[in-house]
Amino acid sequence: MKISLITLGCPKNIVDSEWLLGALVRPETELVDSMEQAEIIIINTCGFIQSAKEEAIETIFEAIQQKENGKCRKVLVTGCLVARYLEELKKEIPEVDGFYSNRDLPLAIKSIARTLNLSNEKSTRRFLLTPKHYAYLKIAEGCNNCCSYCAIPLIRGNLRSFPFEEIIQEAQQLAQKGVQELLVIAQDTTRYGVDRTDGKRIIDLLQQIVQIEELKWVRLMYTHPAHYTDDLIDFIAEQPKICKYLDLPIQHISNRILKKMRRKVNRQQIEALINKLRTKIPELALRTSVIVGFPGESVAEFDELLDFISSIKFERLGAFAYSPEEGTPAYEFSEQIAPSIQQERLEQIMEVQSRISFEHNSSLIDTVQQVLVDEYDSYQQKFIGRTQRDAPEIDNVVWIENAGLETGKLYPVRISKTYEFDLYGQVI
């Protein structure tokens, strides 16, 4: 049985797909790379914002076309889009052979296996979709923050932290498979454990994970600026295995907009946190994300955000135009901003950030950086790697001109040339 699994969306979806594949990879199944080769097409969808929903629907119809052409027998759809719009999808796309919500992932996996007439064995395996030297470690599901623009609570539900010992065991198993870099993820990693009675929190997890000998880097993603503690900051500063890189989405800086967003933090608190982080961790690279064109965002408030980005000089930044999502409080807000204005503001933000990124990169010329090699680009005939300041897929890369390197290994690389988002260098 030839199966093609298409994963859309964020790393949290990638982990779900890895658990699903762990259950589907059997002697009687074969994974194939494309829809055209598959008897069974499974699509793990994203439903977070409008563009993600459109991509998911387009992919579903591509799969249905393969079925109508007689090239596959079944099209199955799971993921966030299903969790959010199950009944509508059943009604509007009856050609799909099964929809499976990811709200209860083990049940979805079991149901898909049953649909495919696979034996009902419980799987404790993850079939990694990442390169073998890095992997994502999902420590919780859902979110209690309830930001006014965000559909995650509608899709994934309230915060459900996974059992402490199970997470540590999974981290150990990944390390034994050859994983060098572990990326810790959740909707809000800094809130891990607040819903449990065992008293374990994110710092307790990290303290255990860094003791796993095989791991070289541990990267903390999706941290909320309202939920940092001094103990956590000190631990990140002092522990060499914790990447001196933090993903800190601020979303905006105007106090009025932050309040409308229900971010539970104001400008003064964000500034104080950034100052504390950079003081205690001088080599820190900060990644943030911001939303432009939120309902009612005035020209002055956008300019405030632009000025803040210009002065703080985040090492990494992603910017997004506000997407109105039905069911969220912000969907009902008045003063929705025209997409053309949103796009104009988005371009201004990214133009400023490109200059900042080039400035940061230029400061690395003639320095030696430890670089983890991810892959070889046969077209450019160069290896591609990352510094500790960069997460896979979303941040800068280092192009390495040496031949004969090994993926998954760390090398000292002297940086010789930079652009806005890429660095070039040679192993020394």
345 and 374 in a common domain: no
On whether both 160 and 221 belong to a single domain, the answer is yes
Q: Quickly list DSSP for 233-298.
A: HHHHHH-TTEEEEEE---B---HHHHHHHT-S--HHHHHHHHHHHHHH-TT-EEEEEEEES-TT--
Provide the CB-side half-sphere exposure for 71 (13 A, CA).
13
Inside any domain, residue 126: no
**Last residue within a domain, chosen from 362, 387, 408:** 362
The encoded tokens of residue 70 equal 């007689």
Q: Which domain holds residue 69?
A: 2-115
Q: Can you name the residues that pair with 412 across neighbouring β-strands? A: 370
Tell me the CATH number at 237: 3.80.30.20
The residue among 362, 395, 414 that closes a domain is 362
Q: Are residues 193 and 302 in the same domain?
A: yes
Q: What is the pTM of this model?
A: 0.93
- Nearest CA to 178 out of 213, 205, 145, 223 is that of 213
DSSP 8-class letter at 172: H
Please count the structural domains in the chain: 3
Residue 257 and residue 218 share a domain: yes
For 409, the token pair is: 């290994």
Per residue in 301-355, pLDDT (tens digit) is 999 999 999 999 999 999 999 999 999 999 999 899 999 999 999 999 999 999 9
Residues 393 and 408 in one domain: yes
Q: Is residue 60 part of a domain?
A: yes
Query: Is there a domain that residue 124 lies in?
Result: no
Q: Could you give the angle at the alpha carbon of 191 between the alpha carbons of 158 and 249, nearest 5°?
A: 95
Over the stretch 104-128, which tens digit does the pLDDT of each residue have? Answer: 888 888 899 889 888 766 666 889 9
Same domain, 381 and 324: no
Those residues whose C-beta lies under 8 Å from the C-beta of residue 339, and which sit 6 or more positions away, are 293, 321
User: pLDDT 10s digit of each residue in the chain, 428 long?
Assistant: 999 999 998 899 999 999 999 999 888 899 998 899 999 999 999 988 888 999 999 999 999 999 998 889 999 999 999 999 999 999 999 999 999 988 888 888 889 988 988 876 666 688 999 999 999 999 999 999 999 999 999 999 999 999 999 999 999 999 999 999 999 999 999 999 999 999 999 999 999 999 999 999 999 999 999 999 999 999 999 999 999 999 999 999 999 999 999 999 999 999 999 999 999 999 999 999 999 999 999 999 999 999 999 999 999 999 999 999 999 999 999 899 999 999 999 999 999 999 999 999 999 999 999 999 999 999 999 999 999 999 999 999 999 998 899 999 999 999 999 999 999 999 99
Please check whether residues 410 and 282 belong to one and the same domain.
Answer: no
Please check whether residue 123 lies inside any domain of the structure. Answer: no
Query: What CATH number has the domain bearing residue 97?
Result: 3.40.50.12160
Q: Are residues 160 and 57 in the same domain?
A: no
Q: What is the CATH number of the domain that holds 394?
A: 2.40.50.140
Based on the domain organization, do 77 and 98 belong to the same domain?
yes
Same-domain status, 56 and 184 = no
Phi-psi region of 265 (alpha: psi -120 to 50; beta: other; left: phi over 0): beta
